[in-house]
Chains A and B, each alone.
Chain A
Amino acid sequence: MLTETFRALRPTVVLLVLVTIVTGLLYPAVITGIAQVALPVKANGSVLSDVHGQPIGSALIAQNFTGPTTFHPRPSAAGKDGYDASSSAATNLAPGSKDLRDAIAKRVSSARAEGMTGDLPADLVTTSASGLDPDLSPEAAFLQAPRVAKARGLDVAKVKSLITAQIEAPLLGIIGEPHVNVLLLNRQLATLSATTPGK
């Protein structure tokens, strides 16, 4: 056994070094090189910029919206105040957790205060797995339409048709769920307001 151990030392050291070079350095470097040349926007995190070229966030990452004039994303447990894109996290609360029940109850009553009636879609009042879920279910977006329309002085039907246009359908009808990206929806909303002056 001792001779076998001794004989294994050189292959161990050499293979670890070679595989580290090939899979640990060359492989990610080559992928990065191709990605940065061919698809720089996606490879750098699908960052969106304002008119001055300043980054305003990522199309893939939730950011918080709190005002009455915008659609609000799902609640977030990422970081201390939520939506921390350098510290993704979930609540990890148990199905029988009192804290979870209380948090959901609180969100349900503020939804009621906004005038939402009937059973609420679950995604609207629960936190996501990453804390950075950029999407809402169409139902959760439609429920917010009256508030947004009122705050912006827009026709509700117009806001709802904007949501409908933004819904991403499942691939082949089965892979994924229909969803609306909140950041993109809110950006579209700004253009909608701008084209209807005087409201």
Chain B
Amino acid sequence: MTFAGWSMILLFVVLIVALAKPAGAWMHALYARETLPLGFVERGFYKLAGIDPKAEQSWVGYAVSLMVFNLGGIALLFAILKLQGVLPMNPQGFGGMETLLAFNTAVSFVTNTNWQNYGGESSLSNLSQMAGLTVQNFLSAAVGIAVAFAFIRGFARKQASGIGNFWVDVTRATLYLLLPISVVLALVYVVMGVPQTFGPSVVATTIEGAKQTIAVGPVASQLAIKMLGTNGGGFFNANSAHPFENPTALNNFLQMLSIFVLGAGLTLTFGKAVGNVRQGWAILAAMLLLFIAGVAVAYGAEAAGNPIHHALGVAGGNMEGKEVRFGIAATALFAVVTTATSCGAVIGMHDSFTAIGGLVPLFNMQLGELVIGGVGSGLYAVLIYCILAVFIAGLMVGRTPEYVGKKIESREMKLAVIAIAIPPLAILGLTAVACITGAGLAGPAAKGAHGFSEILYAFTSGAANNGSAFGGLSGNTPFYNLLLALDMFVGRFGVILPVLAIAGGLAAKRRVPEGAGSFPTTGLLWIGLLAAIIVIVGGLTFLPALALGPIADQAQVAAGTLL
């Protein structure tokens, strides 16, 4: 580890805290239905779609709208991918995608996962990348923000029957948040060297006389929303490690900031909405505590390097699967950023990280991606843990738990436990299925403990809607295409539906004024308790699986065992 490396990490944290405030304030304006500039655009959308923007939806109405919209999105994307061979804007002349792969990809992008069982530059037309994938990059992020808004309304409203209007929330998040920021970022990326063209691949004759076909495309426009919306699906197979998808260290730094900014800002949107911004800062502080701990472990492990390679006369940290312009500090930081959120883009290959360096991204996702988290999904995931934390604190002191003025009772607790339990069930259950079936065991490239890690990582990434991979796993098989699609679907909607149900119940409750007996949810004690409960619940759930995977792997590498 170097001083420069840590300075860069510290600068990143400072900038995120600084950006959270304006981002949170703007999202509060969207949340609170304040009149926006260029309001005629949104009104035009509502008119054409037959939406009454003033109508309130119950939690059931909100949930049904969300499910229909997402199933429609899956159907549309599936059709585009299947038909890309006969659709326009296909300069490389790619054929339609294979059915199960197209299904997996459609579910993947609609659930904000962006797991990719294909190589973008070698299988997708420009139309599929833009009108197919980029659109869902916007919409899946907007849906996450919508659910976060609905959940916030549950806490902020009193004796209300509605939790907002799904259509309005999605439209506003897309048109007034994600799109304008993406336009600015995409142009900045072009200035930094990211290609943006509809032309075909460049065919060059290299200095040594070899023929090199260089894939280009509308990369910058997809890159901007891929990061901002914590989607993570790369234009190229190598994702943001590809020099076209991340040409410079500064470009990389900007990408990392754009992954975190909305998730961090939403904590303050929440604080403002419930009438006490310090509630938001407390959540953000707990998140950053866990974040810095994760960065320290991953950076330390990667900088220490691999003893097996040191023995061959190779110096320094682990550079297999990393790019020189980023180096070890930025690659470790990026790995934590991308798995703390639901992004899943990579600038280094997690599969080739040291065992402990690879454990951090894995554990991050298993915690539920609530360290900042995906846009929207991070906030609702951490609020579920807030409910659990006040409940546990309530048990300790023997009082009815309450959080930001709402009593937490039996219904909330049951639903919160469902939301917390569903992703681990999918992850561990499906990993177990893969480990006892031939089709599942055919996936991993690595042998032994690391092979198990590859399977565990895939189902963790799917259920957590992350999309990063231990790339050694061959995921493009009927078995993995289907099971991972199931994993992603359950991991997404198995959390969203209980969250909306809690929101509906909470919105109907009275707000109780904070009394002397209320457990304070702003101070250091609360920040520590929240962080500890997140780590303990995640640890208890996943420690046995981690022991079989990365921890066993680390012991073998330390002993010099080769597989």
Q: Determine whether the beta carbon of A128 is less than 8 Å from that of B322.
A: yes
CB <8 Å contact, B193 and A42: yes
Q: Give A11 to B61 CA distance when docked, in angstroms.
A: 13
| A4 and B313 form a contact (CB under 8 A) | no
Contact A120 B314 (CB under 8 A): yes
Chain B 104-148: CB-based contact to A (< 8 A → 1; otherwise 0) = 000000000000000101100000001110110011000000000
Chain A residue contacts of B238, Cβ below 8 A: 78, 88-90, 129-132
Nearest chain B CB to A33 CB, angstrom units: 9
A95 & B60 in contact (Cβ 8 Å cutoff): no
> Quick one: which of B60, B321, B348 contacts A4, CB cutoff 8 A?
B60
- Does B190 contact A19, Cβ atoms closer than 8 Å? no
Beyond A87-B119, A129-B322, whether A43 also contacts B196 by CB under 8 A is yes
Within 8 A of A (CB), among B281-333: 305-306, 308-309, 312-327, 330
Smallest CB separation, B260 vs chain A (Å):
16
Instruction: Say how far A193's CB is from chain B's closest CB, in angstroms.
Output: 13
A175 to B319, CA, bound (A): 17
| Among B121, B250, B326, contact of A88 (Cβ-Cβ < 8 Å) | B121
Q: How far is the CB of B107 from chain A (nearest CB, A)?
A: 16
Q: A57-B206, A67-B208, A86-B201 are in contact. Are A23 and B135 (CB under 8 A)?
A: yes
- Known A-B contacts A14-B50, A90-B321; the reply to A19 vs B138 at CB < 8 A is yes
Which residues 446-489 of B have a CB within 8 angstroms of A? Answer: 446, 448, 450, 470-472
Whether B26 sits at the interface, judged by CB under 8 Å, is: no
The answer to whether A137 touches B249, judged by C-beta atoms less than 8 angstroms apart, is no
Q: Is A98 an interface residue (CB 8 A)?
A: yes
Give the interface size class of chain B.
35 or more
Known contacts being A15-B170, A88-B237, A132-B243, is A57 close to B212, with CB within 8 Å? Answer: yes
B4 within 8 A of A: yes
Task: Assess whether B317 is in contact with A122, with CB atoms less than 8 Å apart.
Answer: yes
* Contact present for B309 and A11 (CB under 8 Å): no
Whether B314 contacts A28 by the Cβ 8 Å rule is no
Contact residues in A for B437 (Cβ distance below 8 Å): none
Known: A28-B218, A32-B197, A97-B563. A122 touches B72 (CB 8 A): no
| Chain A interfacial residues counted at CB < 8 A | 102
- A27:B324 contact, CB within 8 angstroms: no
Q: Is there contact, CB below 8 Å, between B313 and A11? A: no
C-alpha spacing A108/B205, complex, angstroms: 30
Q: By the criterion CB–CB under 8 Å, are A47 and B202 in contact?
A: yes
**Nearest Cβ on chain B to A70's Cβ, whole angstroms:** 8
The yes or no answer to A51 lying at the interface (CB within 8 A) is: no
Nearest chain A CB to B527 CB, angstrom units: 28
B500 located at the interface, meaning its Cβ lies under 8 Å from any Cβ of chain A in the complex: no
- A163-183 contacts to B (CB < 8 Å): 170-171, 173-177, 179, 183
Contacts of A174 in B (CB 8 A): 4-5, 7-8, 11
Is B191 interfacial (CB 8 A cutoff)? yes
CB-based closest 10 A-B pairs: A176-B249, A177-B327, A129-B241, A24-B131, A119-B315, A88-B238, A130-B238, A122-B319, A14-B49, A8-B68
**B contact residues vs A (CB 8 Å cutoff):** 4-5, 7-8, 11, 45, 48-51, 60-61, 64-65, 68-69, 72-73, 76, 119, 121-122, 130-132, 134-135, 138-139, 167, 170-171, 174-175, 179, 182-183, 186-187, 190-199, 201-208, 210, 212-216, 218, 220-222, 225, 236-238, 241-244, 247-250, 252-253, 305-306, 308-309, 312-327, 330, 346-349, 351-355, 445-446, 448, 450, 470-472, 553, 556-557, 561-563
